[in-house]
Chain A
Amino acid sequence: AQTVTQSQPEMSVQEAETVTLSCTYDTSESNYYLFWYKQPPSRQMILVIRQEAYKQQNATENRFSVNFQKAAKSFSLKISDSQLGDTAMYFCASRSYSGGSNYKLTFGKGTLLTVNP
């Protein structure tokens, strides 16, 4: 079974500053993928960034980057130059890849990020 834990229910940051959201996970699978999703007030889940567990290099997407620590099972999201439009609920998720039937995402409980002007 997979579990994903986000220990920060809420965070806030000033516009243009940098913020890091924490996530830890647990899985018995050797092959898995990790994701960060954003859910703005429109409720639509939007993929922010994804990381393949077998890749040591941290993924980056413009202002978004991750710090993937496989041994510690940690997968944090860093948002640089925060913008008002980044205000949203952020979910960390994992997806296994073991040839089994785990075609699902396991989500954390989310972190509500507020960017203040």
Chain B
Amino acid sequence: KAGVTQTPRYLIKTRGQQVTLSCSPISGHRSVSWYQQTPGQGLQFLFEYFSETQRNKGNFPGRFSGRQFSNSRSEMNVSTLELGDSALYLCASSLDGRPTNEKLFFGSGTQLSVL
């Protein structure tokens, strides 16, 4: 079974641009969540999608948005990029994502650099 796939692996953008990151979950998984990882702030929760609906959202500005498609693939978009958006963006998938000890499977992330 293929794991969680994130594309692209690396991305370089300039301030003011927008970017779209993609995440393909493990087949059969319906929950996809996104995390931002930076050296200063560590890992922070962005949002979680289940069956094409955003079910939970972290404390990030409206420039950060996402969506999920009917095949459970998810995209996140960051508009008007700022230098502070430089980070590793991790996607995780699980069967239904409810707050149990359900195992989350992470991708290898997209490293975004904003110049």
Contact = CB atoms under 8 A, between A and B. Distances in A.
Interface string A97-117: 110111111111110000000
Main secondary structure of the interface of B (DSSP, over half): strand
Given A91-B43, A103-B33, A104-B45, A96 B99 contact: yes
B92 to A, nearest CB: 7
B101 A102 contact: no
Contact of B42 (A45, A47, A104, A107): A107
Contacts, number: 62
A44 B106 contact: yes
Given A95-B99, A96-B99, A108-B42, A103 B48 contact: yes
Given A45-B92, A103-B31, 13 more contacts: A37-B106, A43-B88, A43-B108, A44-B106, A45-B104, A91-B43, A95-B99, A103-B48, A103-B97, A105-B45, A107-B35, A107-B42, A107-B43
Interface of A: 33, 35, 37, 42-47, 50, 52, 91, 95-98, 100-110
10 contacts: A35-B101, A43-B90, A43-B109, A44-B107, A44-B108, A44-B109, A95-B101, A104-B58, A106-B45, A107-B44
